[in-house]
Amino acid sequence: MENLLNNLNPSQRAAVEFCDGPSLVIAGAGSGKTRVLTYKIAYLLKQGLPPYYILALTFTNKAAREMKERIAEVAGEKAARQLWMGTFHSIFSRILRNEAELLGYNSNFTIFDSSDSKNLVKLIINDMDLDDKVYRPGPVHGQISKAKNNLITTTVYANNEEILEYDRLSKRPKIHEIYSRYQRRLKSSNSMDFDDLLMNTNILFRDNPKVLVDYQNRFQYILVDEYQDTNVSQHRIVSQLADVHQRVCVVGDDAQSIYSFRGANIDNILNFKSNYPNTKTFKLEQNYRSTQNIVSAANSLIKKNSEQIFKNVFSERHEGEKIEVISAFSDYEEGVIVANKIARMRLELHSTYKDFAILYRTNAQSRVFEESLRKANIPYRIYGGLSFYQRKEIKDVVSYFRLIVNPSDEIAFQRVINYPTRGIGNVTVNKITDAAQQHNVGLWEIISNLNKYELQINAGTKKRITGFQSLIADFIELSKEQSAFEVAKEVIKKTGIAQESFSDLSPEGMSRTQNIQELLNAMNEFVEMRLEQGEEDTQLVDFLSEAALLTDQDTDKESGDDKITLMTVHASKGLEFEHVFIVGMEEDLFPSSMAKSEIRGLEEERRLFYVALTRAKQTCVITFAKSRFKHGQTEPARQSQFLNDIDVKFIQTETTSLQSPREGATDGFWESMRRGAQSSRTSMKKEELSFTKKTAVSQTSSVNTLSKEANALQEGQTIEHERFGIGTVISIENNGNDRRAFVEFDTVGKKQLLLKFAKFTIVKDE
């Protein structure tokens, strides 16, 4: 441990060693924040605190996984696995499943993603006969979500004059009623949305003091990463859990708070000290990531914001190159410039592709870069956008799973009742929904007892409905015995999805088929991995509860490939790259026109830019275009005001662009440039389909990840398995990723090990 602590600088070390009360670690960009968290956990373990007493909350699953791996290196695999470490959403969904009955839920509850939530809001708006142009599902759900993140329950909402007045002024006085109905229908669907996972945890603790005490005792030490991005609901959970022992350490950087649109409240970090009067504050100010020039440029930018905790971030690395600002004539040219520059820099600097990242404000901007990179033969990987689980064909299949696990799930029900088409149309579905509302029961209850509820439907329709009902009922039975993978195969087969999908030979259809296949593969892996780890939870419900909180960053298995990275600035938080391109640096795009109305919004955009800048280790290039293709036409654009916020002495403006317009031919040039962009866009179409297919599939496709040991393993050898102990290899089957060993263990008997996952060492050769 001593030599571990020697790896830290004095302020990092001080932050790690203080464990007796509340502490706030203000960590500048690149200052070794994750390092401090990791070492601190290792330090606590070393002090004798059992791992299952530690709660560590991260912002993404990926961050949790990486931190676990690092802790495993210093404190051992076993301890790392016993830690309560994960995102707020995943940790508390686990707790809510355990305590579901206390809240009137069943532990099989479904988790709605935002599109499910919006669908439900839309159904309610229709039921209430409200004008869906005034009450648009997106913003209405946004308003509800904001309320929930601020712990404003339906009752509080309906009695809060200020909020009601706000809704009246925005011409949507009925939101409080939509909110109540929304919550009621979530509950009758035995479902929770993302915000419920946090709000219901608060309700659980509020209404069940004994349960709260249990968890207060369990979580002896609490660590929270990215505290600047927590909302009121999350803050309240943490402060209740830490209320008694006050052993809590939060880490964050107010300058990197970029999620207020999701309810994050920067005050949580700014006011932390007043919440915990005995707080000890540590500041990590040395940036180990970036050149002095980048750090100074970022400092000069963030100084323009009014609200912040004072700190002096500095770098002792070399001065480095100035930030290069390049202007392009069009978004299309911007793409070409960036692609060419990356190709050139890679050769000149002897870099690899994975040293490069292109960061943009909106996902929509990725298109142009995909195109130019493909033309330049530069391998790339896009993060974000439509994630695997949000694809239509995947949602359809997953909806069957949801319905099987939780027949009350109304949204899943509506999604699959007529998919694949089985002659149950809108008219019939409406009759079912009406009956459900009338008798105040779920849709499943209605179709399970058609006669009882006297639906006005003809015999043919009735037969089709009962057919559907027994189809699902059979799956439910099956799922009690079989693993998620086995049930999934049956679902695909028996519902006709397989048949429908395989007979569609269009490129889109084939891509859908592949994605479904990929889902099955993922489920198979899930089951095998669980079995390998000696866990019995391999059923559909277990798969769903994990999959619902997965983002596509979490399913990334190809990070080893040499590809450049394309992602939004938001998605880049916490990452670093040698060379960063920040593109589309234009007014109304970055800062976004949406955010500019309020000062706080503009400051958040500036922090977002700060985040983008501080991702770069060596070089940072900023580009903007003078015209941009949006909403179906080319519109003029001008450079972002944020470029003026960086002190000019850290910037170098590139005037010679790739191709400058010929004199006197400006108009013609522009035209051809635009046409060039257009035609290549349209000509891309066919090619693009096969391309989307590739990316979609690649998200979960696996590579051969067998370790040396796994490849070397032979019959007759003795191994020591992490869980099962000592055993002898009886036989080996298959090869590559599917390579398996049958092993006779001394204590637990015969086991099948999937070598891709198995954790063991070879003890003795025969």
Partner DNA sequence: TAACACTTGTTTTTT
Partner DNA sequence: ACAAGTGTTA
Strand order in the sheet with 718-721: 749-754, 740-745, 725-733, 718-721, 760-764
The closest alpha carbon to 461, from 423, 417, 433, belongs to 423
By rule CB under 7 A, what count of residues binds DNA?
54
> Which two tokens mark 640?
């972002």
- Bridge partners (DSSP) of residue 566 are 358, 382
Among positions 274, 377, 421, 456, the unique one binding DNA when judged by CB under 7 A:
421
Confirm or reject binding of residue 615 to DNA (CB under 7 A).
no
Confirm or reject binding of residue 191 to DNA (CB under 7 A).
no
* H/E run at residue 183: helix 175-188
- Which of 33, 317, 341, 740 is catalytic? The answer is 33
- Which of 99, 193, 225, 586 is catalytic? The answer is 225
Span of 45-53, 87-95, 322-330, 650-658 interacting with DNA by CB under 7 A? 87-95
Confirm or reject binding of residue 424 to DNA (CB under 7 A).
yes
| Nearest distance from C-beta of residue 566 to DNA, angstroms | 11
Confirm or reject binding of residue 363 to DNA (CB under 7 A).
yes
| Nearest distance from C-beta of residue 357 to DNA, angstroms | 14
| Nearest distance from C-beta of residue 462 to DNA, angstroms | 11
| Nearest distance from C-beta of residue 430 to DNA, angstroms | 8
In angstroms, rounded to a whole number, what is the distance separating the alpha carbons of residues 484 and 542?
A: 8
Confirm or reject binding of residue 120 to DNA (CB under 7 A).
no
> Which two tokens mark 401?
């799973």
The closest alpha carbon to 532, from 756, 251, 263, 231, belongs to 756
Span of 128-136, 333-341, 405-413, 481-489 interacting with DNA by CB under 7 A? 128-136
| Nearest distance from C-beta of residue 681 to DNA, angstroms | 6
Is residue 461 part of the annotated active site? The answer reads no
Is residue 256 part of the annotated active site? The answer reads yes
Place of tokens 């206390």: 102
The closest alpha carbon to 276, from 249, 303, 294, 307, belongs to 249
In angstroms, rounded to a whole number, what is the distance separating the alpha carbons of residues 268 and 247?
A: 17
Own/partner contacts of 395-398, CB < 8 Å, gap of 24 or more, are 395/115, 396/497, 397/488, 397/491, 397/492, 397/497, 397/516, 397/519, 398/519, 398/544, 398/547
- Name the region of 110 (left: φ>0; alpha: ψ -120 to 50; beta: rest): beta
Place of tokens 């660590």: 223
Confirm or reject binding of residue 194 to DNA (CB under 7 A).
yes
If the CB atoms of residues 320 and 574 are measured against DNA, the closer one turns out to be 574
DSSP 384: S
Q: Residue 108 in 3-state DSSP? A: coil
| Nearest distance from C-beta of residue 358 to DNA, angstroms | 14
Site for DNA in 679-708 (CB under 7 A): 681-682, 685
Site for DNA in 148-177 (CB under 7 A): none
Among positions 110, 408, 428, 700, the unique one binding DNA when judged by CB under 7 A:
428
* H/E run at residue 489: helix 484-494
**Residue 624: burial class (beta carbons within 10 Å; 0-12, 13-18, 19+):** buried
Is residue 362 part of the annotated active site? The answer reads no
| Nearest distance from C-beta of residue 559 to DNA, angstroms | 16
In angstroms, rounded to a whole number, what is the distance separating the alpha carbons of residues 752 and 726?
A: 14
Roughly what angle, to the nearest 10 degrees, separates helices 540-547 and 392-405?
Answer: 130
Among positions 571, 582, 637, 755, the unique one binding DNA when judged by CB under 7 A:
571
In angstroms, rounded to a whole number, what is the distance separating the alpha carbons of residues 378 and 386?
A: 22
Confirm or reject binding of residue 128 to DNA (CB under 7 A).
no
Confirm or reject binding of residue 503 to DNA (CB under 7 A).
no
- Bridge partners (DSSP) of residue 326 are 623, 654
If the CB atoms of residues 11 and 149 are measured against DNA, the closer one turns out to be 149
Span of 13-21, 593-601, 663-671, 731-739 interacting with DNA by CB under 7 A? 593-601
Among positions 70, 570, 693, 756, the unique one binding DNA when judged by CB under 7 A:
570
- Which of 236, 322, 615, 739 is catalytic? The answer is 615
Among positions 461, 479, 511, 619, the unique one binding DNA when judged by CB under 7 A:
461
Calculate the alpha carbon distances from 310 to 27, 283, 305, 603, 715 in Å: 11, 10, 11, 16, 63
If the CB atoms of residues 377 and 426 are measured against DNA, the closer one turns out to be 426
If the CB atoms of residues 425 and 534 are measured against DNA, the closer one turns out to be 425
Among positions 631, 663, 761, 766, the unique one binding DNA when judged by CB under 7 A:
631
**Mask for 258-287, x = binds DNA (CB under 7 A):** x--xx-------------------------
In angstroms, rounded to a whole number, what is the distance separating the alpha carbons of residues 245 and 294?
A: 41
| Nearest distance from C-beta of residue 692 to DNA, angstroms | 9
Q: What count of other Cβ atoms lies within 10 Å of the Cβ of residue 443?
A: 24
If the CB atoms of residues 426 and 747 are measured against DNA, the closer one turns out to be 426
Span of 9-17, 183-191, 418-426, 699-707 interacting with DNA by CB under 7 A? 418-426
**Residue 623: burial class (beta carbons within 10 Å; 0-12, 13-18, 19+):** buried
Q: Give 275's contacts (C-beta < 8 A, 6+ positions apart).
A: 239
Cβ proximity of 58 and 251 under 8 Å: no
Confirm or reject binding of residue 422 to DNA (CB under 7 A).
yes
- Bridge partners (DSSP) of residue 635 are 628
**CA-based Rg of the chain, rounded to a whole angstrom?**
28
| Nearest distance from C-beta of residue 364 to DNA, angstroms | 4
> Which two tokens mark 552?
């596509």
Is residue 285 part of the annotated active site? The answer reads no
Confirm or reject binding of residue 110 to DNA (CB under 7 A).
no
What is the number of alpha carbons within 13 Å of residue 12 lying toward its C-beta? 23
Is residue 291 part of the annotated active site? The answer reads no
Site for DNA in 377-396 (CB under 7 A): 384, 387, 392
Is residue 34 part of the annotated active site? The answer reads yes
Residues designated as active site: 33-34, 225-226, 256, 615
Residue numbers at the binding site for DNA (CB under 7 A) = 59-61, 87-90, 113-114, 122, 132-133, 136, 138, 194, 258, 261-262, 361-364, 384, 387, 392, 418, 421-428, 461, 549, 551, 553, 567-568, 570-571, 592, 594-595, 601, 629-632, 678, 681-682, 685
